[in-house]
Amino acid sequence: MSTNLINKYNIPGPRYTSYPTVPYWDIDTFSLSKWKKSVKRSFSESNTTEGISLYIHLPFCERMCTFCGCNKRITKRHDVELPYIHALLKEWSLYLNLLETKPKIKELHLGGGTPTFFSPKNLEYLISSLFKGVDRAKDCEFSFEGHPNNTTKEHLQALFDVGFRRVSFGVQDYDENVQKAIHRIQPFENVKYVTEMAREIGYTSVGHDIIFGLPFQTQEAVINTILKTKALLPDRLAFYSYAHVPWQKGNGQRGFKDVDLPSAEQKRMQYEMGKKLLKKVGYVEIGMDHFGLQNDSLYKAMEDQKLHRNFMGYTASKTQMMIGLGVSAISDSWYGFAQNVKNIEEYQHLVNENIIPVYRGHILNKEDEIIRQHILNLMCHFETNWKEDDLYFKELPEVLQNLKELEIDGLLEISRNTVKVTEKGRPFVRNICMAFDLRLQRSIPETTLFSMTI
């Protein structure tokens, strides 16, 4: 990846966990009644064949990690656990009342926050209660995010006993200076313990998250982190760029200055060296920012052309409907998106009043559906086409014209009815998707809304 290309294409851009992206949702025409209608439609179309996915947001953390932009509440009070769990179960009951038949759960993911902030007993209670009167798909996959410092054997065993087989641990970086800057002191021994314990219990997929571009991070630190990761050989890895969004106030990204961050050139070197090392160790690049061993379900999904991307990131299979439970969680009915309120007290109040706690959303029109499919194709398979009439749209010639310069730079290949991302172009897939993003092209934001693409 040349410095010239980075300088040229390293601009703010969406990560495309949805289309339209959240800043371009048409919230003025959205309503709770429209959202409920889209949920019922999607469920009736897909539950029997695919099942549905659940994402559960558990927002509590005992300490602030300054690299994190997620919605969270910092507290050491654990008496918040049960009231929040009761609110989650109440919200789930409100959705169950909408559905005409028993839902079949294919995917379930616990995110945060810190899911392992909750006690093993309370996590087991939450999951067991969620599944009363609900079926599990035969090929279901349950996963959770674990903090290496507070994930215990009891956490791993309790979640294993209720069906979890995949866990991901946030590593970020093993360098002590970096850990101090991001307020995440986490010795290698802690990660080693939870990784080995998960495998001993029977988890079939253990993942690690590694970040490059962190404050005070050097190329040597990235190399050291990957070499230590090699010793544990997690089944899959997320190796992604730190999304620094200093224009957002109150997101916890403090404790360092902009000058403490690596330059674009340094980040490029960290990425390229890291990618080369991961390949040497035996990892295969999957989609954007993800790597997996050949025994992992994400790799197999890529091989079978079944890789999917949604608000949970890359998943090994697609479900048409994903319901997000909890404060700030986002749901996707395939025909629309809806986000829950971000304040915990407001969230609990609304569900206790028997109101599904969404506060904004978007109902997709026909154009949105077409563009979303192209962006999904690019993000998951690094190519898209319009061989079928239902994927052609009238602005396509203009989009292809906008892609010409990227083609000249060797980042993609354009044929009569196909756009294919080259190996050289993979780090720039977000830029390529931006050319298809008609809402973005029609209304370039006056202020920066997104992190940098490289």
Residues at the binding site for [4Fe-4S] cluster are 61, 65, 68
Nearest to 141 by CA among 285, 299, 288, 298: 298
| Dist CA 395 CA 289 (whole Å) | 29
> What residue type is assigned to position 421 of the chain?
V
**Residues that constitute the known binding site for S-adenosyl-L-methionine:** 55, 67-69, 112-114, 145, 172, 184, 209, 243, 330
List residues forming the annotated binding site: 55, 61, 65, 67-69, 112-114, 145, 172, 184, 209, 243, 330
- Round to whole Å and give the CA distance between 251 and 285: 30
Alpha-helical (H) ranges within 47-187 are: 81-98, 120-130, 153-161, 176-181
- Distance between CA atoms of 142 and 165, rounded to whole angstroms? 6
Q: Which residues 6+ apart lie within 8 Å of 388 measured at CB?
A: none
86 burial (CB, 10 Å; 0-12 / 13-18 / 19+) is middle
- The rounded distance, in Å, linking the Cα atoms of 292 and 283 is 5
Q: Could you give the CA distance from residue 139 to residue 307 in angstroms, rounded to a whole number?
A: 15
In a 3-state reduction of DSSP, which class is residue 362? strand
